[in-house]
Amino acid sequence: MGLDLAFTVARSGLRLLERQMARASHDIANAGVDGHTRKVLEGRTLTAAGTGIGVRSQPVARDVDLALIAAQDRAKGDVAAGALREDLLRGVEAAHGSPENGDSVGGLMGGLRDAIVALREAPADAIRRGTVVTAAETLAGRLNSVSAAIGEARQQAQDAMRTEVEALNANLSAIAGLNDAIRREAASGRSTAELEDQRDQVIGQVSESLDITVIRRGNGEVTLVARGGITLPLEEGGRPFTLADATVGSGAWHGNGGTLPGVMLDGIDVTRRLAGGRLGAAAELRDATLPRMQAEADVAASQLAYRMEAQGLRLFTDDAGTVPDVTQPYAGSAMVGFAGAIRVNPDVVADPALVRDGTHAVVAAPGGPTAFTPNTATGPAGFATLLDRVLDFTFGAEVAAGTPQPGFASGGLGPDGTLSSPLSGLRTLEDYGSALVAEQAGTRAAATATRERAEGLRDVLASRLQQRSGVDVDKEVASMVQLQTAYGVNARVISTIQAMWDALFGAVR
């Protein structure tokens, strides 16, 4: 090997070592930066006619496990979805009160029954009649609170969808811009590692909005496909998804004939194809979970009013004095939103004696209650016929001896009649009220458990990713020492070559 070639080889080695030391220094400096991954810089041997003529530095590349990154992103989406569900459902759970304190719907139904039992012992006692009215008002107020909390949570879900659509559009635009930059840099033979780190950070944010699959192209670009089979449009500055603002009422729904807007993409409603992440969770809450909860509360309130009415005591109505007919389908009936409208009949509030005497006559009908005639103004102060009917039948499983009560609806729920409830096979008001509280509080508890499991998985994956692709400062420092040693060896080679050149020139002179 001639001196010129030896000098060229040694000099190319120095350049590679300088860049590798710069790479190591950069990694050490950014070791604590979120999203920064360990980089590698390799050299490629150059040959001419089978003879080595030096090394050339390759572009800096990332040392990452893409499968781990994808799994972590999916776990992030599950955490985000679980956290949103937990947050919105927590208010509903709180509105139900505390079963152990007896102030939940089920407990207050039992409290109303107990007040009527106490009145049955002394029907002439005006204080006990007032206690029954107070218990009824407390129960109606609890149902109102539950309905209001569900409505508020549903509005928050709609607003969360709007927020996520805006964030999703911004992130897709950012990814489109990074795609273009990566393609240009790759075409020029320059490193795209830092840009890829940035893009993966934004992709991670998208995964918190939607469950996505990342398809990586040979030119460095990526394509994002949501779980519902939707290819996400990547256009810098674009706003591909839209969602109109809306005020969500108890009778509103999304779908055919509904008034709630959908998430639109290129003029197509894709709401029901959205899955995972905060956007998918918010859509599910708005259109399924919370409407079902509202319907369950409405069924409880409607059955309470209807069963009282059937025995001759119009104790509960809405503002218009209506008592829903629970034998009719839920959708489109007076049951929709009744939990938010239920109140104690103003006539009973004005005259609590009506809880003893009755508010109206009942005509016997096949499959219905037996006949009942209210107590008259001059009737006995110890009149207990109505109280016996209410205790035996309103709070019992039968509307009359041998005739079962109308069942609590578990299908055909929701404003459009497409939802179903797990609360089935229950016969009494107190059983349904207790099951209602347990099921709706359990939904929040399930959301919390899901979030906690997802957080555990996310943290495990983050730890593995850090071990696999993160910067280990100790290793990088050790690598720097090795590189400096190699640099010194190359420097001595160049010094030796320089000395040989000097000796050669001296001999010539």
Q: How far apart are CA 148 and CA 259, in angstroms?
A: 20
Q: Are residues 395 and 496 in the same domain?
A: no
Q: Are residues 500 and 365 in the same domain?
A: no
Quick one: tokens of 279? 């956007």
Q: Find the domain containing 222 and state its range.
A: 69-456
* Structure confidence at residue 17 (pLDDT): 58
Residue at 415 is within a domain:
yes
Residue at 462 is within a domain:
no
Q: Are residues 321 and 390 in the same domain?
A: yes
Residue at 360 is within a domain:
yes
Q: How far apart are CA 92 and CA 107, in angstroms?
A: 17
Q: How far from 272 is each of 240, 251, 421, CA to CA, in Å?
A: 17, 19, 20
Report the helix count and the strand count for the chain, using DSSP H and E: 13, 13
Burial of 320 (0-12, 13-18, 19+ CB in 10 A): exposed
Q: How far apart are CA 231 and CA 175, in angstroms?
A: 14
- The CA-based dihedral angle spanning residues 122, 125, 130, 133, taken in that order and rounded to the nearest 10 degrees: 30
Q: Are residues 263 and 410 in the same domain?
A: yes
Q: Are residues 57 and 77 in the same domain?
A: no
Q: Are residues 354 and 502 in the same domain?
A: no
Burial of 382 (0-12, 13-18, 19+ CB in 10 A): exposed
Residue at 492 is within a domain:
yes
Q: Are residues 445 and 477 in the same domain?
A: no
Q: Number of structural domains, the chain?
A: 2
Q: What is the pTM of this model?
A: 0.87
Q: Are residues 200 and 91 in the same domain?
A: yes
Q: Are residues 488 and 408 in the same domain?
A: no
Q: Are residues 269 and 410 in the same domain?
A: yes
Residue at 135 is within a domain:
yes
Q: Are residues 340 and 440 in the same domain?
A: yes
* Structure confidence at residue 450 (pLDDT): 94
Residue at 466 is within a domain:
no
* Structure confidence at residue 227 (pLDDT): 87
Q: Are residues 493 and 379 in the same domain?
A: no
Q: How far apart are CA 111 and CA 189, in angstroms?
A: 78
Residue at 467 is within a domain:
no
**pLDDT tens-digit profile, the chain (509 residues):** 555 555 566 665 656 556 656 666 665 666 666 777 776 766 666 566 566 555 665 677 678 888 999 999 999 999 999 999 999 999 999 999 988 889 999 999 999 999 999 999 999 999 999 999 999 999 999 999 999 999 999 999 999 999 999 999 999 999 999 999 999 998 888 888 899 999 999 999 999 999 999 999 888 899 999 988 899 999 888 889 999 999 999 999 999 999 999 999 988 999 999 999 999 999 999 999 999 999 999 999 999 999 999 999 999 999 999 999 999 999 999 999 999 999 999 999 999 999 999 999 999 989 899 999 999 989 999 999 999 999 999 999 999 999 999 999 999 999 999 999 999 999 999 999 999 999 999 999 999 999 999 999 999 998 888 887 765 555 656 666 565 676 566 666 666 766 666 666 667 66
Residue at 332 is within a domain:
yes
